[in-house]
Amino acid sequence: MKRSPHEIKYSEGTLRMARFAKALGHPVRIEILKFLAEQSCCFTGDLVEIFPLAQSTVSQHLKELYEAGLIRGKIEPPRVRYCIHEENWKKARDLFADFFQKQELG
């Protein structure tokens, strides 16, 4: 009998780590996070000036990071200001550190 992946029960930590990993799965998103980690906050337009990408592309990457909870966005019409979501940033760091520490290869 074949098992469906939908039958597997995942822990909250596993699901959260998978969501963070998905958001980190593109090099531009990692670079955006590095940039935001060095700033207090910035606007989408600031990132468009730094990265040679269309504003719509930068916005898609920001949306993915936002939905994963790694960044926060505050609407300051007509712009949106983005910052690292510090609480979730720490959760991500701890989840990955714990995972890799427990999964040491012999």
Structure tokens at 34: 């590095």
How many folded domains does the chain comprise? 1
Q: Residues 10-49: pLDDT tens digits?
A: 999 999 999 999 999 999 999 999 999 998 899 999 999 9
CATH number reported for the structural domain that contains residue 22 in this entry? 1.10.10.10
- pLDDT at position 5, please? 63
Residue 4 belongs to some domain of the structure: no
Residue 6 belongs to some domain of the structure: no
Give CA–CA dist 98/88, Å, rounded: 15
- Local structure of residue 3 (DSSP, 8 states): P
pLDDT at 104 over 80: no
Residue 59 belongs to some domain of the structure: yes
pLDDT at 7 over 90: no
Dihedral pair phi/psi, residue 42, rounded to 5°? -160, 165
Asked if 16 and 91 touch (Cβ cutoff 8 Å), the reply is yes
Write out the residue range of the structural domain in which residue 74 sits. 12-99
Residue 63 belongs to some domain of the structure: yes
Q: From residue 86, give the alpha-carbon distance in Å to each of 14, 53, 77.
A: 20, 26, 24
